[in-house]
């Protein structure tokens, strides 16, 4: 059977502390593009449709497990209570791999940029070899393990700490990723000891043990950029910069106009359709999709939102989770939308808060309108029908509904439902006092003069 058609299990190592981050947060929960590092590692693997996804946790296990479950409920987390080395870490997955027949790819939770294509290439190379290691040509090999090759066969991996000078001169380095048949891998790991410079059980002993048994091991390579691991805050921010550069390039490639690409920030899952325009200084948090021909104007912030085709958002707009804009909807400056559907062609153009609401197609929401959705304890819904005209500065005190084609007078505080086609006015009646304005002003000015004279 062709190796790449065998079932695949992904084992992601995420038990390490990451002490050099100098953080209370486990290293793999630090974020790039709005997603934890461990989620980036999972995402690349998920594209290969693995039959099992196992994450080895240790430091900050509960928090890491919660993040893993939130992103991929089917993932299984196993604990490594003491961090005795990468080989020991993989062994913790033995039980979760029980009964599994197929290949395992071992991946690291702090290595966010390995692409699915690279994982797939490792899997394909399994057709010819029992063990496949992912290597790269290192500009500065430093602390990396060295791949000692014999032709295209991998003889063994030597950790830098244990290497001879001759071995250290090798620049082909270990990324850490490895692919092998699950049963073979677990069997070889049982043989791994800890008699080395670190006193750790090295995953990297596996190829040498395999070769000694007459099994074949090889290495394939990827670009060094892909193997970038995160150990410090400086590396994290550098990785964020690289990630953003890649997302911007991808957007441009996919037919998105970015007028100032370097000022637009993406999340790991931002989707922008064809001919979308994004003006300067826009931030996309997680979970945003924007349909074709929409325009996101300058200084807008979007997260968990869907923007329909040809809609216009901003400048200075904020779309929060659950904002659903229909085609051709318009959200203008200083408008915040949360958990609300804005119907096709509806407009909320100035200074509004629309939360827990539904606004029907073609309705116009006047400047300063607010859905008063929160009573201090509970949230309530506002429903506005189609072709409604909400006057400026209307307070819609939820739960409340305004029927199709209705209107509200400016400054109204709407506390009861407005039937379709009606006009609701809920404000104090205006009274004009003949000449009082001029008389009052004259009196006040006289008082001021008198004070000056004292
Ligand atoms: C490892 C490799 C090295 C390779 C390098 C690439 C080994 C012995 N060495 O070294 O050849 O060049 O990665 O970056 O594998 N982890 C656990 N439990 C443990 C130990 C580690 O879960 O007990 C996790 C860490 O959280 C991390 C990953 O495994 O995500 C790698 O561990 P790390 O200590 O960084 O290994 P390196 O010394 O970098
Ligand atoms: Mg490391």
Residues with Cβ within 8 Å of residue 447, at least 6 apart in sequence: none
Dist CA 231 CA 363 (whole Å): 52
Please work out whether the CB of residue 178 comes within 6 Å of at least one atom of ligand 1. Answer: no
Ligand 1 lined by 109 (C-beta under 6 Å): yes
Any ligand 1 atom below 6 A from CB of 305: no
* DSSP 8-state secondary structure symbol assigned to residue 58: B
The bound ligand whose nearest atom lies closest to the alpha carbon of 157 is: 1
In sequence order, what are the residues at sequence separation of 6 or more whose Cβ sits closer than 8 angstroms to the Cβ of residue 202? 85, 86, 87, 157, 159, 192, 194, 196
User: Which atom of ligand 1 sits closest to the CA of residue 175?
Assistant: 6
Which residue's alpha carbon is at the smallest distance from atom 2 of ligand 1?
176
Give the pairing type, strands 31-32 and 35-36: antiparallel
Q: Cα 184–94–58 angle (5° rounding)?
A: 130
pLDDT at 4: 57
C-beta 16 within 6 A of ligand 1: yes
Where the chain has pLDDT below 50, the residues are 1-3
Among 323, 337, 339, 289, smallest CA distance to 309 is for 289
Q: Give the burial class of 247: count Cβ atoms within 10 A of its Cβ; 0-12 exposed, 13-18 middle, 19 or more buried.
A: buried
What dihedral do alpha carbons 113, 235, 136, 211 form, nearest 10°?
-90
Tell me the catalytic residues: 350
Report how far residue 449's alpha carbon sits from residue 454's, in angstroms, rounded to the nearest whole number.
Answer: 9
User: Which-ligand-closest: CA of 38?
Assistant: 1
CA torsion angle 141 144 148 151 (round to 10)? -60
pLDDT value, residue 5? 75
Q: What is the pLDDT of residue 3?
A: 46
């Amino acid at each position: 059977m062709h190796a790449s058609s065998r079932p695949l299990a992904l084992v992601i190592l995420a038990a390490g502390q990451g002490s050099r981050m100098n953080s209370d947060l486990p290293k793999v929960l630090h974020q790039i593009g709005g997603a934890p590092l461990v989620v980036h590692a999972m995402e690349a693997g998920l594209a290969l449709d693995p039959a099992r996804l196992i994450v080895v946790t240790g430091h900050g296990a509960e928090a890491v497990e919660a993040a893993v479950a939130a992103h991929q409920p089917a993932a299984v987390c196993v604990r490594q209570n003491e961090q005795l080395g990468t080989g020991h870490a993989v062994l913790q997955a033995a039980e979760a791999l029980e009964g599994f027949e197929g290949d395992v790819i071992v991946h690291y939770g702090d290595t966010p940029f390995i692409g699915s294509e690279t994982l797939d290439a490792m899997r394909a190379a399994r057709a010819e070899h029992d063990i496949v290691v992912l290597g790269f040509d290192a500009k500065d090999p430093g602390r990396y393990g060295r791949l000692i090759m014999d032709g295209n066969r991998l003889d063994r991996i030597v950790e830098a700490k244990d290497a001879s000078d001759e071995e250290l001169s090798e620049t082909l380095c270990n990324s850490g990723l490895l692919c092998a048949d699950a049963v073979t891998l677990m069997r070889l790991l049982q043989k791994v000891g800890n008699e080395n410079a670190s006193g750790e059980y090295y995953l990297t002993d596996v190829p040498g043990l395999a070769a000694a048994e007459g099994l074949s091991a090889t290495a394939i390579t990827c670009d060094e950029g892909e193997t970038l691991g995160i150990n410090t805050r400086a590396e994290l921010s550098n990785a964020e910069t690289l990630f953003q550069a890649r997302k911007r390039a991808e957007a441009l490639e996919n037919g998105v106009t970015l007028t100032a690409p370097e000022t637009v920030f993406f999340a790991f899952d931002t989707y922008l359709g064809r001919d979308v325009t994004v003006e300067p200084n826009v931030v996309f948090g997680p979970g945003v999709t924007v349909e074709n021909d929409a325009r996101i104007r300058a200084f807008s912030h979007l997260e968990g939102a869907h923007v329909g085709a040809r809609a216009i958002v901003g400048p200075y707009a904020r779309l929060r989770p659950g904002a659903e804009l229909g085609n051709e909807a318009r959200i203008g400056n200083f408008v915040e939308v949360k958990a609300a559907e804005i119907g096709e062609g509806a407009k909320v153009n100035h200074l509004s808060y629309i939360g827990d609401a539904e606004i029907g197609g073609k309705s116009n929401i006047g400047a300063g309108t607010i859905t008063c959705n929160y009573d201090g304890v509970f949230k309530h819904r506002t429903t506005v029908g189609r072709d409604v005209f909400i006057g400026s500065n209307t307070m819609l005190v939820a739960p409340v509904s305004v029927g199709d084609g209705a209107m509200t007078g400016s400054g109204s505080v709407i506390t009861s439902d407005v039937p379709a086609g009606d006009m609701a006015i809920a404000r104090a009646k205006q009274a004009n006092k003949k000449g009082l304005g001029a008389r009052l002003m004259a009196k006040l000015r006289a008082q001021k003069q008198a004070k000056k004279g004292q």
